[in-house]
């Protein structure tokens, strides 16, 4: 989860995403699927700066982004719709840590953190 000091403006969002994506291991940068929002007007800049392709779901088609929709529901347990979202990054990091340590049925009841770590370790083992 990322705080957006400039709100959902395209310029600020692109800058925040570029910083975060560039800090991810290349192995974890497959693609990004977004809904139809003006905040991604600078998606080409994001792709050029990170080598991360950006795809857009069709309007009113949440089934094209099921993991994102599920995660949004989990986030709403902490940040209900209608409240002003904070840009206080330590608070957002604490929420992300809790969610990343929460087992998920779709992951065979492993946590996202466990799956992420396993994938990184498996890649290191195969390239060593």
The pLDDT tens digits of the residues spanning 36-82 come to 788 888 889 989 999 999 999 888 888 888 888 888 899 999 998 88
Both tokens assigned to 90: 């330590």
**Separation between Cα atoms, residue 43 and residue 10, nearest integer Å:** 9
Give the pLDDT score at 78.
92
- pTM for the model: 0.76
Domain boundaries, the chain: 10-127
What lies within 8 Å, CB to CB, of 5 at 6+ separation is 12, 87
d(CA 86, CA 91): 8
DSSP percent split of the chain into helix, strand, coil, nearest 5: 55, 5, 40
């Amino acid at each position: 989860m990322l705080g957006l000091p400039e709100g959902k403006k395209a310029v600020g969002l692109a800058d925040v995403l570029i910083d975060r994506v560039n800090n991810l291991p290349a192995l974890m940068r497959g693609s990004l699927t977004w809904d139809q929002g003006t905040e991604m007007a600078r998606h080409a800049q994001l792709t050029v700066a990170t080598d991360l392709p950006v795809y857009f779901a069709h309007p009113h088609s949440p089934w094209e982004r099921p993991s994102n929709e599920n995660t949004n529901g989990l986030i709403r347990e902490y940040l209900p719709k209608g409240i002003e979202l904070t840009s206080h990054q330590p608070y957002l990091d604490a929420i992300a840590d809790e969610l990343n340590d929460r087992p998920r049925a779709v992951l065979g009841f492993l946590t996202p953190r466990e799956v992420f770590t396993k994938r990184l370790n498996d890649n290191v083992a195969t390239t060593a």
